[in-house]
């Protein structure tokens, strides 16, 4: 993917939902799904998209007007039932320090038309403790 950090290695346990997403887009283009069916982002999700979303460098497949943003959520036993939205690796590290192993869900959202779909999921766990730093 363009714009991805060069050091990003494929994450073990990552599941890509592009196929499911593309078939929804196809159904929409064929007229089998309406905008009401596919552009149903929850207000909470839109809020997270505006506050914590990272630009996905990809136009919205529905309105083709707006750049998509990715919103990441972490789910874990010590996190809120609706998941904890986070932005960036540092915040994820903070969450895994608190909650241990978490499941991360990346949702693509269009802030303009409210299109949303799961993009991918992956597992994250707290970074292994290193030798105590000499500070
Ligand atoms: Zn859109």
pLDDT, tens digit, for every residue of 52-94?
A: 999 999 999 999 999 999 999 999 999 999 999 999 999 999 9
Give the CA dihedral 2, 66, 34, 50, nearest 10 degrees. Answer: 90
Contact 86, 107 (CB under 8 A): no
Tell how far the Cα of 23 is from the centroid of ligand 1, in angstroms: 16
Span 83-107, mean pLDDT?
A: 95
Tell how far the Cα of 3 is from the centroid of ligand 1, in angstroms: 21
Tell how far the Cα of 24 is from the centroid of ligand 1, in angstroms: 14
- What pTM, to 2 d.p., does this model score? 0.82
Tell how far the Cα of 13 is from the centroid of ligand 1, in angstroms: 29
Which residue has tokens 């939902």?
Answer: 17
Tell how far the Cα of 65 is from the centroid of ligand 1, in angstroms: 6
Tell how far the Cα of 62 is from the centroid of ligand 1, in angstroms: 5
Dihedral sign for Cα atoms in the order 106, 74, 34, 18: positive
Tell how far the Cα of 93 is from the centroid of ligand 1, in angstroms: 31
Give the tens place of pLDDT for each residue, 20-63: 999 999 999 999 999 999 999 999 999 999 999 999 999 999 99
């Amino acid at each position: 993917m363009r714009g991805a950090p060069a050091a990003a290695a494929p994450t073990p346990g990552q599941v890509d939902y592009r196929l499911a997403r593309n078939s929804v887009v196809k159904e929409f283009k064929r007229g089998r799904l309406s905008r009401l069916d596919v552009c149903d982002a929850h207000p909470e999700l839109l809020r997270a998209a505006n506050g914590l979303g990272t630009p996905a460098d990809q136009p919205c497949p529905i309105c083709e007007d707006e750049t998509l943003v990715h919103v990441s959520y972490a789910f874990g036993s010590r996190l809120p039932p609706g998941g904890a939205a986070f932005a960036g690796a540092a915040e994820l590290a903070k969450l895994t320090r608190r909650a241990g192993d978490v499941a991360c869900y990346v949702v693509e959202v269009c802030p303009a038309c409210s299109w949303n779909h799961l993009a991918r999921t992956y597992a994250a766990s707290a970074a292994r403790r290193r030798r105590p730093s000499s500070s």
